[in-house]
Chain A
C-alpha cells in the first residue's frame, strides 16, 4: 500500500520514505512509551489513594477519567498501568522473538536432527493453549512480574521460531550461502552476518504482531485473575477490576479498554505502513 505523499528531496537523503498513517501510529506508540517512562512524575494522584467517596464516578475536572470501583483516580492508574502493560509486553516479546529467531536460524542452517528436534519440541509447546499454559504456570510459581514475562515469552517463542525458520530456510538455499559454506565459514558467522540481515525486516514486522498478541493475552490473563496482581495493575487488570461499571458506562472501564485498543491498533498500523528503504539512488 504505497501512497506517495512525500516530497522528492527530503526523503532522498534519509533513505527511507514515511507515509502519514505510519507516522501517526508511531506517534501514539512513542506517546505511550513516554507515559510509561515518566508515569510516577506525572500522575495527579497516588495510585492507591482513595480520592472519591463514591465509586465509578463520572469524568470531572479533578479526576479526568473519573474514579474506579474503590474510588481511586483511574487516570493515574492508567498512566501507571502503561508501565506494566508496555513493560511486560515489550520484555516478553523481545525475549520470545530473540530466542525464536536465533533457534529458527540455527535449525534452518544446521538442519538434520537439530532441526527436527527443535521443531518437534517447540511444536509440542505450541499445542498447549496459551491461556491454560499461563494458568498452570501462574498457579505453580505465582504471578510475579518475572514469572509473567517468562510465561508470555515461552508461549510466543514457538510462533517466532516457526516464522523465522521459514524465512531462514529460503535464504539458506541462496548461492551466497553455498559460497560462504564452501569457504569454510562456521555456523555463528553464517547466521549472524549472512542470514540475519536478510530476514530482519519481516522479523521486526512479526515482532510488532506478536507484541499485539502479548498485550491481548496479558489482558486476557488479567481478566482471569492470573495476570498482574494488586497493588500493581496493568490495563487488563484495570478493565477486570472495573468491569462491574460497564452496564452504566463507567469511564473507569471504558478508558483502559480504549488505551489497550489505541496501543494495539497503532502497532498494527505501523507494521502495515513500515517505511520502505529507498534504492532509487542510482537515478541521481
Chain B
C-alpha cells in the first residue's frame, strides 16, 4: 500500500476555493481533515477550533433538526432513553444536576453545589427559584424520586447497573439532599451529568407530556414521527435563543443530507464519513466534528478458540492497519486509538501509550506460532456497530495478503446486540462515550463485568479500579488510570483501531454549536445554546 498521503491536486483546489469563500480557520481544519491528512496532535483539534466562534447570540427563529433513527419506541422517559433522538428531546425538556463543558469538567446545572468529605456520602444543594413546566417548584423529593426510580426493575432503566451503587437517599430540607454510595466514588458529579439522570417531577408515570424544568415546553410529541417544543419563558438559565425547536428523524442518510441541502432543516445529525464529500464545495454549509470517545472495537473472546491462544490476539493487533481504517473507513473523521477505552476527549487519556503499528510480517509470525495461518476464521460485523463492515473489509484484505483467510459474516442490525455481541468468538462492538474512566473500566473491563467483551480477567486491574475510584488525590488517580490503560491495551482482547468522530452537518445560519465529550450535537444539548442568524 503506497504510503503517500493522497494529497491530490483536486484537494489543493478545494482549499483555495474554501479560502476564497472566506472560510473560517475552522472550516479550513475540517477540509484538511476530510482529505485524510493526519494531524500530529489529533487530541487538541477541537480545543483550538472552539474559540474562533464566540460571536454574540441572536434571539428568535424556528430551529429544525433531524437525527438518524427513531421508531415507535421513542420516549421522553430519561431512564428508558436509548437513542440520540431520545437524548436530544430529554435535554430540551429536562435538566440534570450537573453537565460537562467542552473540556469534560462537570459544571453545576440544577445543583448549587455537590460536596463530599469521604467520596461516600455526598450533600447536594439545589438552586432556588427553579420551576417545572406545570408550575411546580423543584424540590429535593423530585431529585430523590428521579434517582431512586433507576433501581426499580419495572422502569427498565438503561443505567440500572451504575445507579445500583447509590444505596441511601435522605432529604435534609426542601432544597438539600444527601446521597450515600455503596463504596466511595469521586466521580459522582460527573456520573450525575449523564442523560439518564435527568430530573423529573416526583411521582411522574406518564412521560409523554415532557413535563420538566428544561429550556423548551413540549407542544407535540408523536413517537416515531416528530416532537415540537416552544421556548420556556421562565427558564432558570435565561430562555433559549430560538422560539421553537422541531425535532424528527430521517433514517435514510441521503434523504437527511438532501433535506439539509434544500434548506428544510438546520442540522442533520451523525453524517456517515463517506457522505462528507457530498457537502464539500456547497457554500452555506459547515460540519461540526466531535471526537467524543465513541468507538467500534474488534473483540476477540480470550476464553474461546481461537482467542484463547495469546499469539493469535497479538497477531491480530499487528494485523489491524489503524491509519488505513481512519483514512478510508472513517474518511479521516476519527483519531487512531491505542486499544483502550479512555479517549483523547477525556482528561485522563494516556497520550504516551502508543498502539501496535501495522506490521504484517510480525502478524504472520504470531499467527504461525498460534498455528492458525491456514484456517478460515469467522468475524461477525453489522451495521448496528458503526463502520464495522468497512473495518472488517480492510482487515480481511490485509489478512489475505499474508495468506490468512478471514470470513466476514455480516448479520442484520435487528437483534445484533442480543444475538451476536458478547457471544461470537470474534465480533465487533460499539461503545458510546462515558464521562469517566471509572465507568468505562467497571462497565467493560472489570473481571466480572457483564459487558467484558473479551473476558479480560486481572485481579491487579480490579484492585486498582476500586482504589482509584475512591481516592480524591488527582495526581495519584491519574497515575493509576494511566497504568490501567497500559494493562488493558497490552492484555485485553479488544482492539480499538480508532475513536470515531461524530460529524453533524449544519447550515451556516446555525451558530453557537460547540463540540462536547458526551457526544455529537453538543452532547445532545445543542437546542438550548444555538441561535439562528438571518
Contact = CB atoms under 8 A, between A and B. Distances in A.
Interface string B222-260: 000000000000000000000000000000011000000
B281 to A, nearest CB: 9
A70 interface: yes
B278 A244 contact: yes
Interface string B388-411: 011001101100100000001011
B409 to A, nearest CB: 9
A69 B253 CA distance: 15
B412 interface: yes
For the complex of A and B, the 4 pairs showing the least CB-CB separation, nearest first, are A53-B6, A229-B410, A244-B275, A230-B410
Contacts of B324: 50
B205 interface: no
Given A56-B277, A139-B414, A243 B8 contact: no
| Interface magnitude class on chain B | 20 to 34
Contacts of A230: 389, 393, 408, 410
Interface string B273-292: 01101100000000000000
B448 interface: no
A138 B331 CA distance: 31
Contacts of A229: 410, 412
A70 B390 contact: yes
Contact of A142 (B253, B278, B396, B412): B412
A55 B410 contact: no
A48 B6 contact: no
A107 B79 CA distance: 58
Nearest to A72: B393
Interface string A56-99: 10000000000001110000000000000000000000000000
B410 A50 contact: no
Interface in A232-263: 243-244, 246-248
B328 interface: yes
Nearest to A143: B412
B412 A50 contact: no
Given A53-B6, A54-B8, A230-B408, A71 B328 contact: yes
Contact of B274 (A50, A53, A69, A246): A69
8 contacts: A49-B397, A50-B328, A50-B393, A53-B2, A71-B328, A229-B412, A231-B396, A244-B274
A225 interface: yes
Contacts of B393: 48, 50, 70, 230-231
Interface of B: 2, 6, 8, 253-254, 272, 274-275, 277-278, 324, 327-329, 331, 383, 389-390, 393-394, 396-397, 400, 408, 410-412, 414
Nearest to A54: B6
* Secondary structure type dominating chain B contacts: helix
Nearest to A223: B252
B465 to A, nearest CB: 38
B394 A50 contact: yes
Contact of B328 (A48, A70, A231): A70
A55 B274 contact: yes
Interface of A: 46, 48-50, 53-56, 69-71, 138-139, 142-143, 225-226, 229-231, 243-244, 246-248
A275 B204 CA distance: 75
Contacts of B408: 230-231
A80 to B, nearest CB: 14
Contacts of A231: 393, 396, 408, 410
B149 to A, nearest CB: 33
Contacts of B328: 50, 53, 55, 70-71
Given A55-B331, A142-B412, 20 more contacts: A48-B397, A49-B400, A50-B393, A50-B394, A53-B2, A53-B6, A54-B6, A54-B8, A55-B274, A55-B277, A55-B328, A69-B274, A70-B390, A143-B412, A225-B383, A231-B410, A243-B254, A244-B254, A248-B277, A248-B278
B274 A138 contact: no
A81 to B, nearest CB: 16
Given A53-B2, A230-B389, A231-B393, A247 B410 contact: no
Contacts of A46: 400
B252 to A, nearest CB: 9
B14 to A, nearest CB: 13
Contacts of B412: 138-139, 142-143, 225-226, 229
B145 to A, nearest CB: 38
Contacts of B400: 46, 48-49
Contacts of A50: 324, 328, 393-394, 397
B387 to A, nearest CB: 11
B393 to A, nearest CB: 6
A50 B328 CA distance: 9
Nearest to B276: A244
A69 B393 CA distance: 12
Contacts of A48: 393, 396-397, 400
